[in-house]
Chains A and B, each alone.
Chain A
Amino acid sequence: MIRKKMKNNNKLNCIVILLIIISIFFVERNFDAYIIRILNLCAIYIILGVSLNLINGFTGQFSLGHAGFMAIGAYTSALLYMSPELKEVNYFITPLIWPLSVIHLPFVFSLIIAGLVSAGVGFLVGAPCLRLKGDYLAIVTFGFAEIIRVVFNNLQSVTNGPIGLKGLPTYTNLWWSWGIAVLTVLVVKNLVNSSYGRALKSIRENESAAEAMGINLFFHKSLAFVVGAFFAGLGGALLASLVMTIDPNTFSFLLTFQLIVIVIVGGLGSITGTIISATIIAVLMELLRAVEAPMNIFGLHIPGIPGMRMLIFSILLMSVVLFFKKGLMGNKEWSWEGLFKKLFPRQREIKEGD
C-alpha cells in the first residue's frame, strides 16, 4: 500500500518537474527580462531558504552565518569563471595572486567547486562551534559571517577588497536557478525523510535524549551544517552571476536576516512553507518598490520616501512573528495525500471502511 502511494507520488512529482520545465520554456520565450529576473531571484531564495531551514528548522541549530557561506560561494565561483582579461580589468589596484589570475573554468565546474569550498568551510566552522548550544551558536556563527566580511574587505589581492568584482558574466538563467532549486528541495526532502533526518529532528526536540538514544550529535549536526553550507554556496554563486556585481558588503547581516524571515514566515521545519514564503517575499520586495516612488493620490502629490519599502517589510515581518507564531505552514508539509484528502473526502472514507 505504502509502496503504491510512493509510486503515485513519484509520478506526480515527475509531472510537476515536467510542468516546471515546460513553463521555463514558455517564460523564457514570452516574458521580459525584469520578470525573468524576479523568477531567478525566487529560485535563489528557495535554494537559500531551504538550506537554512535544514540547519535552523529541522536540526534546531540557530545559525546566523548563511551570508558568510554565500559570500564564499559567490567569490569562489566568480574567481574561477571570470576570464583572465576581466580579472585584470577588475584588479587594477592590487593584482590578483598567481594561480587564481590564470584559472578560467566553465560555469558548471566553478559552481560545483564553490559549493564544495563552502561546504568545507562549513565543516571547519561547524566542527568546533557545534559544541555550543542555542544562543551561543547563533553568536558564533554570526561572528563567523562578520569575520568573512571583514577578511574579504581587507584581502585585496584575492577578493579585490571593498571595490568588489564588477561586470561578472551572467550565466544564471532560469534553467540553472530553477534546476538547482529543484535539486536542493529534492536533496533536503530526501535527507529529512531518511533515518538521518529523523536523527536531526530528534536533536531539535531534545539533544540529551537524542544522545542517550545513541545518536552521534557531532556527526549529525555537522551533516546538517555541511549540506546547508553547500547549497548556500551554490545560491551565493548563482546570485553573484545574476546581479553581476558583488562586494563583501553585499553579504552583510541584512541578507541573512532576509533568509531568516523567509524561513520563519514559511514555518520552521517545513520545506513547502519555505518555498511558498521565498516566492512571496521575492515578489513582495519588488512590488513594494512602488511605495518609494512618488505618488499622486486625489491630486495630492506625495514625494517618494526612501526607506519606506524596508520599513513596511519589517512591519510585515513583525506582524508575522507576533501573530502567526508558527509561520504559514508550521512544521507541516504540503503533500499529495493531503491534497487528495481535501479534494475527495468521500473516497477516503470508503477506503477506510474497507
Chain B
Amino acid sequence: MTFNAFLQNLSNGISLGFLFALIAIGYSMVYGVLNLINFAHGDIFMMATFFAYYAIAFFSLPWGIAFFLAIILTAVLGVLVDRFAYRPLRNSPRISCLCSAIGMSFLLENFAIVVFGGRPKAFFRPEVFTKVFTISGVRVHSVSIVTPIIAILALLVLSYIIYRTKVGLAMRAISRDFDTANLMGININKTIAFTFAIGSGLAGIGAILWALRYPQIYPYMGIFPGWRAFAAAIMGGIGSIRGATLGGFLVGVLTIMIVAFLPALAGYKDAFIFIGVIIVLLWKPKGLFGED
C-alpha cells in the first residue's frame, strides 16, 4: 500500500468523519438535556434530503436557497418531533420516552414511504460539488473539501452558542441538573425545543452534504448513517460535544480504513464499529469524554 493511497483514504475518511460528527452531535445534545436517545434522529436526517430534493425538483428553487430552506425545515421538524412525541412524556418513566422515540422513528420512515414513495431518487448535485481535484496524485472530490469547511464552521457556531450565549448557558444548566434549572426560572420547554432545533439543523447540514456525496435518497437512508453516528456519539461519551466530534471522526476514518486496507473484512465493518463501542463502554462506562 503506497503512501498516496493512504492519503487518499485518509482524506475520504476525514470528510466522512466530519459528516458523522455533525449527525452525532444531534444525538449528544438531546441526550445531554433530556437523557433520551433520540432514535428518530436518523430519520430527521433522511427527511432533510427529501426537503432539499422537493425544493429543487418541485419548486425549482436555486440550490443554495433550497439547501438553506431544507436546513430550516429540518430544524422545525426537530422541534415538532419534540413537541408531539417527547414533551407529553417529560415526567414519565424513561422507558416510555424510549418507546416513543422508536415509534417516532418508524412513523417518519413509513410516512416517507407513503408520501415520497419507496423508490430511490437521484439527488441533484450542483456542478461545484462534482469537480475532482488532483493534488500530487491524490484525487480529492470537491465535496470532500467543502464538508470539513462547513462542518468546522458549524462546530464553531455551535460552541459559540453553547459557551457564549444565554440559551447555551440554559442548555448546559439543564443538562447538569434538570430540576434545579427549572427552579432557577429557566424556561425548560423553550430551551429543549431550541436544542432540538440546533441538533436537527446540524443533522440537516450533514444530510445535504451526505446526499451530495452519495446522491441517492430513499426513506430508509437514515438508518445506517444514524446508527453509525449514534455509535460515534456513544464512543465519545454521549452528552459531550467534544466527544461526539471525536467519535464521529474515529468512526468515519475507521470505516474507510477497514474497507480500504482489509477488504476481506469489509462486510464486517458495522460489527467492528459496534465491537469498538462495546469495548470503549466496558473500559469507560460513560464513553471517552463522558462526565460522571
Contact = CB atoms under 8 A, between A and B. Distances in A.
Interface stretch (B163-171, B180-188, B191-199, B272-280): B272-280
A308 B107 CA distance: 11
B92 A325 contact: yes
* B103, B111, B271, B274 — most chain A CB neighbours (10 Å): B103
Interface residues of A, number: 40
A306 B117 CA distance: 8
A128 B96 CA distance: 26
Interface string B224-250: 000100110010001000000000000
B84 to A, nearest CB: 8
* A257, A305, A314 — most chain B CB neighbours (10 Å): A314
A138 B274 contact: no
Contacts, number: 108
Contacts of B37: 135, 138-139
B29 to A, nearest CB: 15
Interface stretch (A33-41, A105-113, A177-185, A316-324): A316-324
Nearest to B275: A147
B contact face: mostly helix, strand, loop, or mixed: helix
A318 B100 contact: yes
A143 B231 CA distance: 9
Interface string A104-139: 000000000000000000000000110110111011
Given A136-B281, A140-B278, A307-B114, A264 B99 contact: yes
B85 interface: yes
A62 B282 contact: no
Interface in B87-139: 88-89, 92, 94-96, 98-100, 102-104, 106-107, 110-111, 113-114, 118
Contacts of B282: 128, 131
Contacts of B94: 134-135
Interface size class of B (residues with CB under 8 A): 35 or more
A268 B95 contact: yes
Given A143-B274, A150-B268, A131 B285 contact: yes
5 contacts: A131-B282, A132-B281, A135-B94, A144-B278, A318-B104
Interface of B: 31, 35, 37, 85, 88-89, 92, 94-96, 98-100, 102-104, 106-107, 110-111, 113-114, 118, 227, 230-231, 234, 238, 267-268, 270-271, 274-275, 277-278, 281-282, 285
Interface of A: 56, 62, 128-129, 131-132, 134-136, 138-140, 143-144, 146-147, 150-151, 153-154, 254, 257, 260-261, 264, 268, 305-308, 310-311, 313-315, 317-318, 321-322, 325
